[in-house]
Structure 1
Amino acid sequence: MGEVTRGARALVLCPDIRSQKYDLDAKERLEEACGLALAIGVVIADAQIIPVRDVRPNTLFGSGQVDNIAAACEQNEAELVIVDGALSPIQQRNLEDKLKRKVIDRTGLILEIFGERAATAEGRLQVELAHLDYQQSRLVRSWTHLERQRGGFGFLGGPGETQIEADRRMIRQRMGRLRRELEQVRKTRSLHRERRERAPWPVIALVGYTNAGKSTLFNRVTGAEVMAEDLLFATLDPTMRAISLPGVEKAILSDTVGFISDLPTQLVAAFRATLEEVTAADVILHVRDMANAGNQAQKKQVLSVLADLGVIDPDDGSSNIPILEVWNKVDLLEPEAADELRTAAENIDDVAIISALTGEGIDALFEQVGTMLTGQARECEFVVPASDGRRLAWLYAHGDVLSDEQREGDTGPEHRVRVRLNPKELGQYQSL
């Protein structure tokens, strides 16, 4: 991608369109837009909320507002304008002409971040697919080689139509290839999931709004060096590590991409496979940044994505996977506010209060997770031939053996074993 130079001075604009309904208020949206801009290494020269009474099809903003933006660019020596909203290709081109500066919208900005952050092959495939999808509509202005005159006998004033069509076809073919590769990745991931489901380890997925502190928590618990800067979208690829919990010898902790409001549709589709990891979890930890004023709207956004993935029933809010809310960043709150939060949490079952940064509440959190994982266990009784050492060893390794009575059976020595197993372990034992 590389459309934005790191260190460039940027003017961040948050259009507040009167006819549009927003989850967050304008101030919170501007703050989030600045967070996104910082995530690609630009310097924020100035940030403004611009009220938009009527959307202008050519420039989004009114002509007086465009003049004010141009003056603000001059005054702040901004070489880049970031608009926290969707711009049509025409609006983007017209704004660039009038402001004489590079203009990118919210989708372009998030794509820049994704392009920088995607680390695995799957992440890169997803980014490229989303980028091509975005570029299709901006073909004439974005693909510089089209500025050269092509086709015909030189009668055309602009790029040859045939060449543009050829490029469109090239994009479509590349997108088709990427989709096939991604489908293959999905199949591989589902095979890995099936293998994990047969494995004796439960999976705990960390989800949450971007920058809620998931990666910091992941690093603290696993000792892994996952990128955990105070940046939006620091994580794009799910990272997995084995951990041990009270009552659970081994579990897999999975860190996932952060959710965000108004994520452009191309990106939701492209990143679906990454989020599918959540649907295979035994427990979901929903990490929330309680120091953020918009945390309630962020929670709503996360639950909406989980509903899209089929984890939560949109009608009654019930979940087919246990969800534990992790109220994070308690260290950033005033002591009085932190105490109020702790009091509120005492009356709610599925809540844990922590500071991933200082480590406060982490032990209690994972004790709670251990209880959630073992709480579904029930007592079972099996008769195992003494010669079947594999099954016996499995029960001792993965279950909580309550008694083991050795006796002589019809076909030889056998063990009558009483053991506590959770439903997943029972299924694994039965498939041995």
Structure 2
Amino acid sequence: MKAKGQRLVTSYFIITIFLLVISFVYKVDLLKKNDKKLPKIAENKTVVTVFTRNSAYSSRLKKDIEKFNLENNKIYIDYKSFDDDYSNILRLSLQSSGRPDIFQLGFYDVIEKEEIYTMEDLNINNFDEIDKSRIFMYKGKNIGLKVSGATVKFVWNKDIFIKSGLNPDNPPETWQELLYYAKKIKQSNPQIVPFEFPASNFGEIKMSIGEPSVFKGDIYTTFWNYKKGEYNFNYSKDIITKYNQLYSDNLIPQDFDKKSIKDIRNDFIEGKTAMMISTSDDKAYFEDNKIDMNIGISNLPRFFGEGSRKYYLTNFNVLVVYKNDNDLNSVISVYKYLYDEYKKLNDESVKQTNLKYAEYDNMKYFDFEGNDPTGSLNINFPKVNSLIYDGIKGKMKIDEVIQNLNSYFNYMKDAKIKKEPDFLIDYIR
């Protein structure tokens, strides 16, 4: 027994060492991606390092920054964009000498540790024409600027529409019509899933349940009522009911709750699904991978009788300034340049009319959400997601789901107010 125990200890030790080596190699590999020598043009200039995730704007932003670097004699912008490993690279870089001065917010640790400047620290009020909805607030502090976001769109496969006897140029305008379209598609193509929507996490639930509901009242996609200062999930009843009908009729995947937005995009590209909720981030994927499909793109279907309001941009990019030892005036100058640059790119995207995927960039009916307290509350999002899944799957009555969501979110909000009586000042307008 003693020898067996020693062998187990030795095995655990070897496995631990192996995992540590793998972790070290992984970290070194990530840092190598960030470790590139600066060109000669950067000599004798203040270098301001900028990190972002790859997005639909990345390639254009890179070109404009190259022009900036050629024309500016004092500042060189070292711009780097990354894919899915962005958060890991950012975390490692912030612990190294190659940490960025400005970066897209990837996690809240840096805010909690007060490692980034607030807008007041940067005297941000001197920036001209900044919309208040562009300022990102966290726990009562103005932390950064929302410079871009993704539109949420309805996308369909025109070829599948034709095979199903549907007009390929006429998408469903209401959710009731979508149910009719889905049944037609299933009848003609039993092997195809008629419709998919992302719901694998709360961020995706905001797209698929929050966005279709914002036309019903003064709410954001989290169901925060910014006029009454309370959460109201009553506005979600219609869309949850509709998804429940689609689920019951086997018109959406039975494992919809495990399908990420990337999974759904792959299903769509492979012709496994006919209609989906998509974001403008998919546009970059379609273009970069030269996806040749006959598709249609429009705004989301609506519920009959809804008023005229705007949708909200999702996956918004918040730029923050790290407390580095770099020249702060130069960093602020680049921060302002980036804000103006993103504003220009946003404005240009609205004007596009002739490109195949131009509708993805049509932000005419979109806006940034204002201050939302949800990120400041210790919400148990897996619990929230499970409640919504149960409503869609029919495991719990939808009215009961909504009641539980309202009770839970408002309880968490009220608990916060007890600790911080002025908490809601910045979240009601």
Mark yes or no: TM-score above 0.5.
no
When normalised by structure 2's length, the TM-score is: 0.25
Structure of higher RCO (CA pairs closer than 8 Å, 6+ residues apart): 2
Larger fraction in strand? 1
Could you say which structure has the larger radius of gyration?
1
